[in-house]
Structure 1
Amino acid sequence: MTGDRAFRHIKANIVLYGALFANLGIAAAKFVAAAISGSSSMISEGVHSLVDSGNQILLLHGQNRAKRPPDDAHPFGYGRELYFWAFVVAILIFAVGAGVSIYEGWLHIATPEPLRDPTINYVVLAIALLLEGTSWTIAVREFNARRQGAPWWRAILRSKDPASFIVLFEDSAALLGLVIAGVGIWASHHFGDPRIDGMASIGIGITLGCVAVLLAREAKELLIGEAADPALIAAIWAVMERQPAVICVNHVRTIHTAPDAVFAAISADFDDALPMGAAETLIETIESELHAAVPELSSIYIRPEKRAAAVIQQRPL
């Protein structure tokens, strides 16, 4: 990879690289603090940051694999491989992040360790809050630029790029986990009960489990095939309806083959008086207009079909 291409690659994935470097440094600091203080919640937080680091590496790997060109085995490309790795990330968060945190918390409650000086924990948590907050701010800015004024939850549900919302969810969970860890460490020393620290570890695990379920749900929808945004479908419909030789549009079916690539299958009733050669020329013209109006369209299939024989789809508003 040349220097210019490498720079463009890093710039395009600034959210992932920012989260990766932040989490690697934070994970090391948390494990050192846990070893010195014996804090269960700090061990959970260290595992959390380590899992997050692995997740960012997997997403970068998925993005690289997804950019491979189409071939005979995969004529629509490898874009959806990114969705597979996003699903793997969700499983890792649940199995490793949440599982280890809950197990560690349970052990700390069952066999509590004597309390030690928590100062290093507070120092590491403060640094982690600063770094995670920076990563979270970058993720929020990037996601804001893409959601184009849509409500947050709707933008997440409609997003076809798992890297953007996975990092956002991870960083949000990380910030909440740091707060839980800090409260747990303080409360365990304030009340002289080390079991509270174990409860905080379980709280971190539950938080990660909830995030993992949400991410798995979104990754599953993308993996099994999700339709394009209604606005994009409406744009396709508008191009078809303004063609004089098109009597009506029966349906428009879309599926994302990558975050920025859409396959569209269109059924339309053409004027019976249109000669075969003219129909072929018209279809080529329509495809050119569709590519111009909707750049995300990577493949288009237009099927002339009588209205009576077709399954009719209502035009999106």
Structure 2
Amino acid sequence: MSASGGSKAIIAALGANLAIAVGKFVAFIFSGSSSMLAEGVHSLADSGNQALLLLGGKKAKRAASEEHPFGYGRERYIYGFLVSIVLFTIGGVFALYEGYEKIKHPHELNDWYWPVGVLVFAIIAETLSFRTAIKESNEVRGKLSWSQFVRRAKAPELPIVLLEDLGALVGLILALFGVGAAIATGNGVWDGVGTLCIGVLLVVIAIVLAAETKSLLLGEAADPAEREKIRAALVDGDSVTRIIHMRTLHLGPEELLVAAKIAVQHDDSAADVARAIDAAEERIRTSVSSARVIYLEPDVYRPEPAAAPTAEA
């Protein structure tokens, strides 16, 4: 994922959520709807999340230092994980609490047209934001399904914005259901039910985001297709005859570490081996542009001797 593409989707979501949050809080003040309060907190939390993603992207661009020789690319993963925590605590848990309180102490809605009008506006704004996230994701996900894209994406921003926008749209529909049912029946319990459903939705999305960003924080290898490209680029059949073993690790969304022990000709001179390593590194970088940190160790391949057959008793 390009940094610019991710930033465009984040900024679109940030603008939409700030405008929606203001409208929801105004609707809550006039109507007393707990669904609107929960949705207002949700939008405010989402706005904070997008600010965190932008901050993480900025911090990740810092140059490598002696203390952090591989750079700060993983800052984006850390801030992505913080987003899942904020979404769970501020968005999900608060909505669950507010829904419980509204069911326990229901009251009729006042000025029902405020929450209905704000929800319709919010659905339109979130749809536009979601459309931008889908458009940006389609440019990088290739033939992957949406679930595969969320699981395999090395840049956390687009999957996070996608899931947040999806959660926001579904949450708005749930809020509209709760408010509509409360208006139709005159029973404020339905407003609380809608709020509880929003809380469950946000908790589920937060758990999915936490699981995915945790995997990135622990360190993920290159995608299978990229690993195959690296293997094909390493072995030229002449100076490099085979790969003895290889490891890859994402130092950040767009920076890949490649470490491999490669087999060279046993009678090559030191100068020949050095030239072979330089050429192999160049082939890797040409094949996979994100492979920026490469360590190759030359060796002579020694096949493991076959195990001696055991005598039968």
Distance in 1 separating the partners of 2:240 and 2:114: 72
Give the alignment partner of residue 170 of structure 2, picking from 159, 176, 179: 176
Please tell me whether residue 220 in structure 1 is matched to residue 218 in structure 2.
no
TM-score (norm 2): 0.93
Query: Percent same amino acid among aligned pairs?
Result: 38
Superposition deviation, residue 54 in structure 1: 0.1
Give the alignment partner of residue 81 of structure 1, picking from 67, 75, 85: 75
Pair 248,209 (structure 1): closer, same or farther in 2 beyond 3 Å? same
Residue 46 of structure 2 aligns with which residue? 52
Aligned residues: 303
The equivalences for 1:1-317 within 5 A come to 13-308=7-302
Pair 309,95 (structure 1): closer, same or farther in 2 beyond 3 Å? farther
Q: Contact 1:291 / 1:297 at 8 angstroms: preserved in 2?
A: yes
Superposition deviation, residue 150 in structure 1: 1.5
Superposition deviation, residue 9 in structure 1: 7.9
| Mean CA deviation greater in 109-118 or 8-17 | 8-17
Give the RMSD, CA atoms, in angstroms. 1.6
Superposition deviation, residue 305 in structure 1: 3.2
Q: Contact 1:254 / 1:265 at 8 angstroms: preserved in 2?
A: yes
Q: Contact 1:233 / 1:252 at 8 angstroms: preserved in 2?
A: no
Distance in 2 separating the partners of 1:309 and 1:94: 52
Gaps of 5+ in 2: 305-313
| Mean CA deviation greater in 230-239 or 301-310 | 301-310
1:120-164 deviation digits (Å, cap 9, x = unpaired): 111101110111000000000111111012222112211011101
Equivalent AA in structure 1 for residue 88 of structure 2: F
Q: Contact 2:273 / 2:298 at 8 angstroms: preserved in 1?
A: no
1:196-238 deviation digits (Å, cap 9, x = unpaired): 1111101000000000000001100001100111111111100
**Secondary structure in 2 aligned to 1:251?**
strand
TM-score (norm 1): 0.92
Q: Contact 1:16 / 1:163 at 8 angstroms: preserved in 2?
A: yes
Q: Contact 1:262 / 1:296 at 8 angstroms: preserved in 2?
A: yes
Equivalent AA in structure 1 for residue 235 of structure 2: E
Gaps of 5+ in 1: 1-7, 311-317
Pair 46,39 (structure 1): closer, same or farther in 2 beyond 3 Å? same
Superposition deviation, residue 11 in structure 1: 6.6
Distance in 2 separating the partners of 1:220 and 1:253: 20
**Secondary structure in 2 aligned to 1:13?**
helix
Q: Contact 1:109 / 1:195 at 8 angstroms: preserved in 2?
A: yes
Pair 243,69 (structure 1): closer, same or farther in 2 beyond 3 Å? farther
Q: Contact 2:222 / 2:256 at 8 angstroms: preserved in 1?
A: yes
Q: Contact 2:59 / 2:72 at 8 angstroms: preserved in 1?
A: yes
- Over alpha carbons, which structure has the higher Rg? 2
